[in-house]
Amino acid sequence: MVEDNAKTVLVVEDNPANMELAVELLEVRGFRTLQAATAEEGICRAKAERPSLILMDIGLPGMDGLAATRLLKQDAQTAGIPVVALTAQAMEGDREKTLAAGCLGYITKPIDTRTFAQTITLFLSAQRS
Ligand code: MN
């Protein structure tokens, strides 16, 4: 098995504990990570650093993750970067909302530490095929 250690994941998350957990789980599996605590900062970092994948919290202060994803998908510079939603609202209709905004899929919080990094790897594989 070849590890995906060249892959960079941009984590957009305003909750410091969730950010720390996501980053730790990704880095222990060999991913590089970038961090942003707001949608605006996430969009800037996405344009500047072209990550392999963006993990986008939906509940953010100011602009929310769905609006940020729509902007990323409307911009030719970032439209090709897969966005995976991170949402605490595992409610009926949420999957449709994230897909309609342009997300490839979603991960529900609380983060499942056993499957999180593997799920990100699967989203990256899905995007490539
Ligand atoms: Mn949040």
Ligand 1 center from residue 1 Cα (angstroms): 34
Start-to-end C-alpha separation, the chain: 17
Quick one: pLDDT at residue 4? Answer: 44
108: β partners: 87
The pLDDT score that the predictor gives to residue 59 is: 93
Rounded distance between C-alpha atoms, residue 8 and residue 58, angstroms: 20
> 84 near 103, Cβ under 8 Å?
yes
In the reported structure, the alpha carbon of residue 87 is separated from the centroid of ligand 1 by a whole-number distance in angstroms of: 8
Q: Residue 1's pLDDT is what?
A: 44
Low-confidence ranges of the chain (pLDDT < 50): 1-5
Angle at 20 between CA 96 and CA 74, to 5 degrees: 40
Whole-angstrom CA distances from 106 to 77, 86, 97 are: 22, 6, 10
Write down the pLDDT at residue 13.
98
Q: How far is the CA of 88 from the centre of ligand 1 (A)?
A: 8
Predicted confidence at residue 126, as pLDDT, reads: 84
pLDDT of residue 91: 67
Pairing of strands 32-36, 53-57: unpaired
Torsion-angle region of 102 (φ positive above 0: left; ψ -120 to 50: alpha; else: beta): left
- With 0-12 / 13-18 / 19 or more C-beta atoms within 10 angstroms meaning exposed / middle / buried, residue 54 is buried
> Can you give the pTM of this predicted structure?
0.92
Level-2 CATH architecture, domain 4-128: 3-Layer(aba) Sandwich (3.40)
**Closest by CA position to 126, among listed 93, 69, 84:** 84
14 alpha carbon – ligand 1 mean position (Å): 5
Report the DSSP pairing between strands 8-12 and 53-57: parallel
Q: How far is the CA of 13 from the centre of ligand 1 (A)?
A: 6
Which pair of structure tokens corresponds to residue 88? 């605490």
